[in-house]
Amino acid sequence: MFESFTAEVVSMIGKGIFETLYMTVISTFFGYIIGLPWGVALYVSSQKGLKPNAAIYGILSFIANVMRSIPFLILLILVMPFTLFIVGRTYGSTATIVPLTLSAAPLIARMVESSVSEVDAGVIEAAQSMGAGTWTLITSVLLVEGRVSLISGIVIMLGTVLGYSAMAGVVGGGGLGDIAIRYGYYRYQADIMIVTVVLLVALVMILQALGSKIAVAFDKRK
Amino acid sequence: MAGIVEVKNLSKTFYNKDSEVNALKDINLSIEKGDIYGIIGMSGAGKSTLVRCLNFLERPTSGEVYIDGEALSGLSDKKLKEIRGSIAMIFQNFNLLNQVNIIDNVAFPLRIQKMNKAQARQKARELLKTVGLSEKEKNYPSQLSGGQKQRVAIARALANDPKILLCDEATSALDPRTTAQILELLKKINDEMGITIIVITHQMSVVQDICHKVAIIEDGRLAESGIVSDIFANPKSHAGKMLVIGEKDMEIPLLHEDRRIRIVFETNSSYEPVIANMVLHFKTPVNILRANTRNVEGTAMGDMILGLPEDKRMQEDMIAYLEEKKLVVSEVTEDV
């Protein structure tokens, strides 16, 4: 069964692993650049937040809900003109980063919102009693006290984005998913498909294990 | 003379969807500089809301709070934050940053007030020495006991050299021995640094231990206020009696007596065996239903609940006898 794994195929799979990690990490990174402030803003403007503001919360929450409801494959196609504008083309792994980021951001915003709202209200009150302003509360209390949950969120997001990135293979997005679809689905080379799927599973497991270790290392509560 | 904290006609109403809760109603307080002032009440009485109004963590619905003569409601956000820097607060659940080590927890308020890290840590180190926890600076809150955590919280509260320290049920989560140590530390802080301390509690023993004056809050109203030993000797309000005499003892079954009185005496009057002498004098026994000695502001005060004999004349004579001996006598009835 291994006759199809020529040097060429092996190097292609190696490149696939790299592309998958590249798309996953970069998209999650950009996702957080948008989603972290978005999630913090959701919490701050929420009813129990630091500066409740129903209008701002309503708008931010609505956009997050709408963007999260669009299936990734549809979003991928919908944003193609935007991708073309930013990257200069609509295929390949760099181009896939655009829709990946856009679909990850609202999910990240919700995860961040939930992480920071778990922070003990008493600790926030204590900081307020010392004269801390909203910015200090965000940077020194919410993001610090909520960091274990935030790190767990990053790990979940990496896994999710990695899964999405595999779907991008349908439109020539590159990475392991692309290989799995091209060889397994279009050419019926099940062995290559199985290997790539196993590799995807292994990547998610490694990310999860690493992330959990980091989260535990950062947790000073026990 | 105006106090360091003046509360004028303060009311706070919480509005829910279809109801409103009057948490505080027309509270007036004057707390003098350097005092240890107790605010006591049963849970739900509104004392926690009251203390949060003192630094405007809760904005009063009406009325005014003056800190050192300055009306808080007129202040800008920036000025309010500055004032909060001079009013420190400690809490029942300590509220330390769990992901930050002890030294940086203590340095935190200094960092909020923009002191640089090295200086802040230097000062934090000195404060940890004050509360006796120098060797714990690299530890995290989860590695400390409750009493140690409260010490860290006290060190943190002292970081900005506050004028006022608010203690919100600061000893309620601690065992009696640790409570005594923390109260001792608060007394020391008051003595040595002259910081005005406001103690919110539901425990009369805490007030008796360290407070000089006390305000009793009941159902959002100020039931009574004054010198602790006066209120201990002769509580006037229902809430005051409940707190001083104790809810359980208010309900002592009547046994054979139809009239019970509470007498309070201080150390100087307790040299004479008053009750024994009274019994000898009237040749009629009385029933001692409860006797207790308590430390109020450093003075031993005794309080006793007596069941008097049935004869009405005899009852009046006995009360007159006790009053003549300069004891404070009050009636104990089930429906105070």
Task: Write a three-state SS string for chain B.
Answer: CCCCEEEEEEEEEEECCCCEEEEEEEEEEEECCCCEEEEECCCCCCHHHHHHHHCCCCCCCEEEEEECCEEHHHCCHHHHHHHHHCEEEEECCCCCCCCCCHHHHHHHHHHHCCCCHHHHHHHHHHHHHHCCCHHHCCCCHHHCCHHHHHHHHHHHHHCCCCCEEEEECCCCCCCHHHHHHHHHHHHHHHHHHCCEEEEEECCHHHHHHHCCEEEEEECCEEEEEEEHHHHHHCCCCHHHHHHHHCHHHHCCCCCCCCCEEEEEEEHHHHHCCHHHHHHHHHCCCCEEEEEEEEEECCEEEEEEEEECCCCHHHHHHHHHHHHHCCCEEEEECCCC
What secondary structure does DSSP assign to A15-33, as a single string?
HHHHHHHHHHHHHHHHHHH
Nearest CA in chain B to A132: B112
Quote the pLDDT of residue B336: 42
Q: Which two tokens stand for residue A71?
A: 């299936």
The four Cα atoms B78, B13, B219, B18 give a dihedral, to 10 degrees, of -140
CA distance B277 to A20: 96
Under an 8 A CB cutoff, do A219 and B99 touch? yes
Rounded to 5 degrees, φ, ψ at B131 are -95, 5
Under an 8 A CB cutoff, do B99 and A127 touch? no
A141 at B interface, C-beta within 8 A: yes
Residues of A whose CB is below 8 A from B112: 127, 130-132, 136, 140
B95 at A interface, C-beta within 8 A: yes
A220 at B interface, C-beta within 8 A: yes
Weakest-pLDDT range from A33-37, A48-52, A162-166, B250-254: B250-254
The four Cα atoms A40, A45, A49, A51 give a dihedral, to 10 degrees, of 120
pLDDT bucket at B21, cuts 50 / 70 / 90: confident
Under an 8 A CB cutoff, do B85 and A222 touch? no
pLDDT bucket at B26, cuts 50 / 70 / 90: very high
Quote the pLDDT of residue A172: 78
Other beta carbons within 10 angstroms of residue B285's beta carbon come to 10
pLDDT bucket at B3, cuts 50 / 70 / 90: confident
Provide the CB-side half-sphere exposure for B71 (13 A, CA).
8
Under an 8 A CB cutoff, do B108 and A127 touch? yes
> What 3-state DSSP class applies to A104?
helix
Is there a contact between B88 and B164 (Cβ–Cβ < 8 Å)? yes
Is there a contact between A159 and A208 (Cβ–Cβ < 8 Å)? yes
Nearest to B142 among A131, A147, A222 (CB): A222
pLDDT bucket at A173, cuts 50 / 70 / 90: confident
pLDDT at B100 over 50: yes
Quote the pLDDT of residue B187: 93
Quote the pLDDT of residue B194: 92
Residues of A whose CB is below 8 A from B140: 220-221
pLDDT at B258 over 80: no
Amino acid at B232: F
Residues of A whose CB is below 8 A from B141: 220
Distance in Å, alpha carbon of A137 to nearest chain B alpha carbon: 9
Under an 8 A CB cutoff, do B97 and A131 touch? no
Is there a contact between B140 and B105 (Cβ–Cβ < 8 Å)? no
CA distance B133 to B128: 5
Q: Which long-range contacts (CB under 8 A, 24 or more apart) does A141-144 make?
A: A141/B97, A142/A40, A142/A43, A142/A116, A143/A40, A143/A116, A144/B97, A144/B99, A144/B100
Nearest to B84 among A122, A123, A130 (CB): A130
pLDDT at B124 over 90: yes
Percent over 90 (pLDDT), chain A: 69
Weakest-pLDDT range from A165-169, B134-138, B142-146, B200-204: A165-169
> What 3-state DSSP class applies to A111?
helix
B103 at A interface, C-beta within 8 A: no
Strand partners, B200: B39, B168
Weakest-pLDDT range from A29-43, A74-88, A139-153, B282-296: B282-296
Other beta carbons within 10 angstroms of residue B192's beta carbon come to 9
pTM of the model: 0.83
Nearest CA in chain B to A120: B95
Quote the pLDDT of residue A103: 94
pLDDT tens readout for residues A184-212:
888 888 888 888 889 999 999 999 999 99
Nearest to A131 among B100, B113, B166 (CB): B113
Residues of A whose CB is below 8 A from B96: 123, 126
Q: What is the ipTM of this complex?
A: 0.83
pLDDT tens readout for residues B190-235:
999 999 999 999 988 899 889 999 999 999 999 999 999 888 888 8
Distance in Å, alpha carbon of A145 to nearest chain B alpha carbon: 6
Residues of A whose CB is below 8 A from B85: 130-131
Quote the pLDDT of residue B302: 80
Under an 8 A CB cutoff, do B99 and A148 touch? yes
Contacting residues for B101 by C-beta, under 8 A, at least 6 apart: A220, B137, B138, B139, B140
Burial of B10 (0-12, 13-18, 19+ CB in 10 A): buried
Percent over 90 (pLDDT), chain B: 51
